[in-house]
């Protein structure tokens, strides 16, 4: 894309923008870190926190924008609003974040909240590209229960909301969709293949980001899932890269 006409003025933007999409606690950090090792530029991002030994790889400025949009629409990450309308301030803020990375050949951002506000990014940067990841609902529920004290019902409802948007976007225009439930070797091979398909190389293979030690929960040992969640998970599995 490179530049965009705004009010008659040509504004420099990143050559390419890639958004990493996925629900909280679903492997988005591992995917993003792996893509960063393959040449995706993230700008300033978190490289450590107590819930994620290697950092969630989120750019706080993008997170702040997403939280502001959700709040303005009466919601939050754990209370998704029915719609997430960007006002003029949000649009200007988002454009400013893109302009700050003008000329970057492969710029990307990751924030699970981005799924809830994705329509605004599609309007700001029509050529935006996606790569996504999902995880078994029970594993996400276990993780959210430990990290955010969410009940199983709350966690599963959030899983369904986020992943419904993920699947909707995939159906509109397919993109690489990975599953964090895969074994380490399988997932790593798929990430490498997806990155290559997206034109990202892997110059430092010895610096592999993802290892199974970063995954602390799985989908085993829990009660049966509600039918609509089972069905959506099956649809995601069928669409898996």
**Does pLDDT of 177 surpass 80?**
yes
In total, how many domains does the chain have? Answer: 1
pLDDT on residue 53? 54
CATH number at residue 224: 3.40.50.300
For 14, the token pair is 């990143």
Q: What mean pLDDT value characterizes the chain? A: 89
**Which residue range is the domain that position 25 belongs to?**
3-239
129-171 pLDDT, tens digit per residue, is 999 999 999 999 999 999 899 999 999 999 999 999 999 999 9
Burial of 234 (0-12, 13-18, 19+ CB in 10 A): exposed
| Alpha-helix runs per DSSP H in 19-103 | 28-37, 60-72, 88-99
CA-CA distance, 206 to 71, in Å (whole number)?
41
Composition of the chain by helix, strand, coil, percent to 5: 45, 15, 40
- The pLDDT-based confidence of 44 (bands split at 50, 70, 90) is confident
Q: What is the pLDDT of residue 3?
A: 58
Pairing of strands 9-12, 3-6: antiparallel
pLDDT in the model for residue 6? 41
Q: How far apart, in whole angstroms, are the C-alpha atoms of residue 2 and residue 184?
A: 36
More confident of the two residues 62 and 204: 62
Highest mean pLDDT among 36-40, 146-150, 218-222, 235-239: 235-239
Is residue 218 packed enough to be buried (19+ CB in 10 Å), middle (13-18) or exposed (0-12)?
Answer: middle
pLDDT-based confidence at 43, cuts 50/70/90? confident
């Amino acid at each position: 894309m490179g530049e965009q006409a705004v009010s008659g003025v040509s504004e420099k933007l990143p050559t390419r923008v890639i958004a990493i999409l996925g629900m909280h606690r679903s492997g988005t950090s591992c995917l993003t870190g792996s893509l960063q090792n393959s040449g995706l530029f993230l700008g300033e991002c978190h490289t450590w926190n107590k819930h994620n030994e290697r950092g969630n790889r989120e750019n706080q400025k993008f997170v702040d924008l997403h939280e502001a949009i959700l709040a303005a629409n009466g919601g939050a990450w754990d209370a998704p609003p029915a719609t997430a309308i960007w006002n003029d301030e949000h649009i200007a803020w988002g454009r400013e974040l893109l302009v700050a990375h003008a000329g970057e050949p492969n710029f990307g951002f990751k924030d699970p909240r981005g799924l809830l506000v994705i329509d605004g990014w599609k309007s700001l940067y029509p050529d935006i590209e996606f790569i996504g990841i999902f995880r078994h609902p029970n594993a996400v529920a276990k993780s959210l229960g430990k990290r955010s004290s969410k009940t199983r019902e709350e966690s599963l409802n959030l899983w369904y909301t986020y992943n419904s948007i993920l699947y909707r976007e995939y159906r509109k225009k397919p993109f690489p969709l990975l599953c964090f439930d895969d074994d380490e070797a399988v997932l790593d091979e798929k990430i490498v293949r997806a990155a290559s398909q997206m034109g990202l190389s892997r110059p430092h293979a010895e610096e592999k980001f993802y290892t199974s030690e970063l995954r602390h929960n799985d989908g085993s040992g829990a009660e049966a899932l509600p039918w609509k969640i089972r069905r959506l998970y099956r649809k995601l599995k069928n669409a898996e890269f």
